[in-house]
């Protein structure tokens, strides 16, 4: 059976993706340092699959070059899905150097280890935050990128640029870059979901913690945007759909390679895909939906707009739909 390395595989999206991979017959090696997850997640992943022995785990930090090289000495991978990164937009504005060090150095170490091992199939976890301020919703894969407003987004944009440069110089690499919009939700079992450490940086878990009394109120940043109710509009996609999309990306990559080989063409490529629903929901609409589902009222207040927040950000999903 094929084996895939999943970096950051005990995190929110990574854990759901591992479940989908194993249930579809893949062997998975997870590497994680538990920066934004915990050991409980690993046990929960294994409890949800029919073949838990198909999952191996290595606790390591990809910033450690020797540990990263050792991974590729101990295992033979058919591909890599790269989730591992710090991901909080607000935090990245406070400690940008930490974000550049973590997100970029770990990726460079990973790419060097892959190159040395001859493993040149990578699915990269990118973000809709790479789209620049000049882009207008709905964003297509050809919308302007760059002009990012925080270190998290810039590390994703810079990584995309690194992969594009590698692809131009060495056509043996295959890159599938997935630009997520706003993954939310949990596994249908309720065993896996989003459980951020400290104060949540994303809207849905923040609302959930207000509903259960962990937090006093929700602050909505801005209510005078040029939108239907004055609050920001975002594209919320279920995390299981995102996870299945990674499985689809691996399958697509393999089929694409086979088709290129059959035509006698170079098998290297770089492709970009938006992962969203194609529909935007406002902050107040999401809150109303959570209130309806829970039967409880969310205490909220309005605060000032945050620098860099776009009024609307939702995907054109024509390409991934095809």
**Could you read off the pLDDT tens digit of each residue along the chain, which spans 322 residues?**
899 999 999 999 999 999 999 999 999 999 999 988 888 999 999 999 999 999 999 999 999 999 999 999 999 999 999 999 999 888 899 999 999 999 999 999 999 999 999 999 999 999 999 998 888 999 999 999 998 989 999 999 999 999 999 999 999 999 999 999 999 999 999 999 987 777 888 899 999 999 999 999 999 999 999 999 999 999 999 999 999 999 999 999 999 988 988 888 888 999 999 999 999 999 999 999 999 999 999 999 999 998 778 899 999 999 998 6
pLDDT at 36: 83
d(CA 267, CA 269): 7
Q: Which residues are catalytic?
A: 152
Is the bond preceding 138 in cis, omega lying within 30 degrees of 0? Answer: yes
Structural domain harbouring 153: 3-185+237-275
pLDDT at 198: 75
C-beta pairs of 289-293 under 8 Å, 24+ apart in sequence: 290/204, 290/207, 290/208, 290/211
Q: Domains in the chain: how many in total? A: 2
Please indicate, yes or no, whether residues 210 and 242 belong to a single structural domain of this protein. no
Please indicate, yes or no, whether residues 122 and 224 belong to a single structural domain of this protein. no
pLDDT at 265: 86
pLDDT at 5: 98
| CA nearest to 123, candidates 97, 158, 71, 160 | 160
Please indicate, yes or no, whether residues 143 and 217 belong to a single structural domain of this protein. no
pLDDT at 266: 86
Tell me the CATH number at 128: 3.40.50.720
Residue 196 lies in a domain: no
Please indicate, yes or no, whether residues 80 and 92 belong to a single structural domain of this protein. yes
The number of residues in the chain equals: 322
Please indicate, yes or no, whether residues 94 and 14 belong to a single structural domain of this protein. yes
Please indicate, yes or no, whether residues 10 and 78 belong to a single structural domain of this protein. yes
């Amino acid at each position: 059976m094929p084996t895939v390395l999943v970096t950051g595989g005990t995190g929110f999206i990574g854990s759901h993706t591992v479940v989908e991979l194993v249930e579809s017959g893949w062997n998975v090696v997870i590497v994680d340092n538990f920066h934004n997850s915990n050991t409980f997640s690993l046990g929960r992943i294994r409890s949800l699959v029919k073949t838990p022995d198909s999952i191996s785990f290595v606790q390591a930090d990809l910033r450690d070059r020797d540990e990263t090289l050792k991974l590729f000495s101990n295992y033979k991978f058919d591909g890599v899905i790269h989730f591992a990164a710090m991901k909080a937009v607000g935090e990245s504005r406070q400690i940008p150097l930490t974000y550049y060090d973590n997100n970029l150095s770990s990726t460079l170490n990973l790419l060097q280890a892959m190159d040395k091992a001859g493993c040149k199939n990578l699915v990269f976890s990118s973000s809709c935050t790479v789209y620049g301020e000049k882009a207008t919703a709905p964003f297509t894969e050809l919308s302007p990128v760059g002009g990012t407003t925080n270190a998290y987004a810039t590390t994703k944009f810079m990584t995309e640029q690194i992969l594009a440069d590698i692809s131009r110089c060495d056509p043996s690499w295959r890159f599938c870059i997935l630009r997520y919009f706003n993954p939310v939700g949990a596994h249908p079992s309720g065993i896996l979901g989003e459980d951020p450490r400290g104060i949540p940086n994303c809207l849905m878990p923040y609302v959930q913690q207000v509903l259960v009394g962990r937090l006093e109120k929700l602050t909505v940043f801005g209510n005078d945007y040029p939108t239907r109710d004055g609050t920001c509009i975002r594209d919320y996609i279920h995390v299981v759909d995102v996870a299945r999309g990674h499985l689809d990306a691996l399958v697509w990559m393999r089929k694409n390679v086979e088709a290129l080989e059959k035509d006698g063409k170079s098998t290297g490529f770089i492709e970009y895909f938006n992962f969203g629903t194609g529909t935007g929901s406002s902050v107040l609409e999401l809150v109303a939906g959570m209130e309806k589902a829970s039967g409880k009222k969310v205490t909220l207040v309005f605060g000032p707009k945050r620098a860099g927040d776009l009024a609307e950000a939702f995907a054109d999903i024509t390409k991934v739909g095809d």
